[in-house]
Structure formats: C-alpha cells, structure tokens
Amino acid sequence: MHKENPAPVLSGVVGFFDDPESLTEAAAKVRDSSYKQFDCFTPYAVHGLEHAQGLPRSKVPYVTGVFAFTGTATAFAWQYAASATWWPHIIGGKPMNSLPAFVPIIFELSVLFGGIATFFGMLAFNRLPNLKKRAFDPSITNNRFAIMIDNPNAEIDDEEEHVSFSPEQAEQFLKSVGAKDVRKVYNEGWFS
C-alpha cells in the first residue's frame, strides 16, 4: 500500500550569476521591486551586497558587549568573594581585596564570555544549525552566485492566509535582472 507523498512545498525561485557585480546590481533591483522576501547566496561575503539587499546592520555586537561586561562583573565579584569573603587568607601580606592581582582574570573572563556569546549569538541570529533547508545547488559554495525569491506561502500552513504569489512571474523577473538558469526550488531538509 503506497503512502501518499504530500505535494512538495515550493520554497522559492532562484536565478544564478557568474560574478559579484551583476549579482549586486540585480539584488538592488529586487530590493526595489515588490518582492520583499528574497535572499542572495554567495561562496564568500561580497562587499556592498548587504546594502544592495537592504539588510540592516547585525546586532551581534550588542550580544558581545552585554556578555563581555557580564564577564567583567562576574570575574571581579567571584574573585572578590572567594578571596575576601568565603575563604580569606593572609597571603604574602597582600590585602584581601587585591584588585591589581585580580585584573588579569577579569580581562580574560570578559573576553571569554564575550567570545562565546558572540559565537552562539551569531548562530542564533543565523538560525544555525540549519537542518530544514537543504542547499539547492553545489555551485553556490564553489563559484557561482544566486538570488532566490522566497515563496511567502512556504512557511504558512493555513491556506486561508496565503498571499498571491506567482512563481512564473518571479522567474520572469529574475531573468529580466540578468539571472541565468532560473528554476524553482522545493523545500527539502538535509536528512529527508
């Protein structure tokens, strides 16, 4: 007895480019068009592309800053507590709150907290690890660039909420801004 496969969900339409300049120009055009949900794919970070795509600045530095200062405060409080409150000793005639001696660890812990927070913050902002959306073409991580216009209905399950989206029109639009090998892309996870 067959199990009925559900119809694959359209994830979007994609068009390829061979050089970063064309990609950047095309991205600017897509940004200025009515298609609001789109993304560019590149083998490396292309300068100026975030402006062409209209992306805001990343908030990762705020995460870093908050956690780095947390690290500073933690290191100071913890060393002070351990050395002066919980387990005080007369050590070499130094005062219990030996602030100059605490400085190296305060610095190191600030960097440690800031660094770890930056890493996990970046992963969180990037929604990584990503297991749901498979890479649609191996040439992206090799030598080609792409723009994908997202299907806004891909994430919305309820049919009532769907907006109108024509994959064919999107494909035409991509061709008009200079993309090659324009095609549809379907939702696929990494391990399905």
Partner 1 sequence: MPDPISTVTWDNHLNIGPAHAADLGIQSNDVVLLKGAQGSFEIPVKVQPGIAKGAVTLALGYGRTAAGSVGNQVGQNAYVFAGLKGDSGLAYHGAEVTISTTGKKYQLAETQLHHKILGRPILNEISYEEYKKNPKASMETEPAVKMDKVPTLWSEPFDYSKSPHRWMLAVDLNSCTGCGACVVACQAENNTPVVGRDRVRQSREMHWMRIDRYYMGDENNPTVAFQPMMCQHCENAPCETVCPVVATSHSEDGLNQMTYSRCVGTRYCQNNCPYKTRRFNFFDHWKDVKDTKNMVWNPDVTVRSRGIMEKCTFCVQRINEAKGKAKDKKTAIKDGELKTACQQTCPTDAIIFGNVNDPASGIHQWIKNDRAFRSMEVLNTRPAVHYLTKVRNAEGEAVEGGKEHGHS
Partner 2 sequence: MATANQETLKPINDVLVTGGRTFAEVNEDVARPLENFPTGKWWVCFIAAMAAFFMGAVLLLQTFKNGVGLWGLNQPVGWGNDVTTFVFWVGIGHAGTLISAILFLFRQKWRTGINRSAEAMTIFAVMTAGMVIMTHTGRTWLAAIWLFPYPNQRQLWPNFRSPLEWDVFAVSTYFTISLIFWYTGLVPDLASIRDRAKNKIRKFFLTILSLGWRGSNKQWVHYEQAYLIFAGLSTPLVLSVHSVVSFDFAVSQLPGWHTTIFPPYFVAGAIFSGFAMVVTLLVLAREAFNLKHYITMDHLEKMNKIIMTTGMLVGYAYAVEFFIAWYSGSTFERATFINRAFGDYWWAYWIMVSCNVFIPQLFWVKKFRRSIPVMFVVSLYVNIGMYFERFVIIVTSLHHDFLPSSWANYIPSWVELGMFTGWIGFFFIWFLLFVRFLPSIAMGEVKSVMDQPRKGASHA
Rule CB under 8 A: which residues touch partner 1? 87, 89-96, 98, 101
Measured from the CB atom, the residue of 8 and 104 that comes closer to partner 2 is 104
* Number of residues forming the site for partner 2 (CB under 8 A): 68
Give the nearest distance from C-beta 61 to partner 2 in angstroms. 6
Residue 131 binding: pick among partner 1, partner 2, none (C-beta 5-8 Å cut-off by kind): partner 2
Measured from the CB atom, the residue of 107 and 125 that comes closer to partner 1 is 107
Query: How far apart (Å, rounded) are the C-alpha atoms in residues 176 and 186?
Result: 22
Query: How far apart (Å, rounded) are the C-alpha atoms in residues 12 and 148?
Result: 6
Please report, for residues 34, 82, 88, 102, the alpha-carbon distance to residue 154 in angstroms, rounded to integers and kept in the order given: 18, 54, 62, 54
- From 29, 31, 33, 50, residue interacting with partner 2 (rule: CB under 8 A): 50
40's tokens? 């560019």
Stretch that binds partner 2, among 4-12, 130-138, 153-161, 162-170 (CB under 8 A): 130-138
Length of the chain: 192
Binding of residue 42 to partner 2 (CB under 8 A):
yes
Do 116 and 67 form a contact (C-beta atoms < 8 A)?
A: yes
Give the nearest distance from C-beta 157 to partner 2 in angstroms. 22
- From 4, 5, 44, 192, residue interacting with partner 2 (rule: CB under 8 A): 44
How many whole angstroms from its chain centre is CA 127?
A: 6
**Segment holding 38, helix H or strand E:** strand 38-41
Binding of residue 60 to partner 2 (CB under 8 A):
yes
Sole residue written with tokens 């993304």? 39
Give the nearest distance from C-beta 131 to partner 1 in angstroms. 44
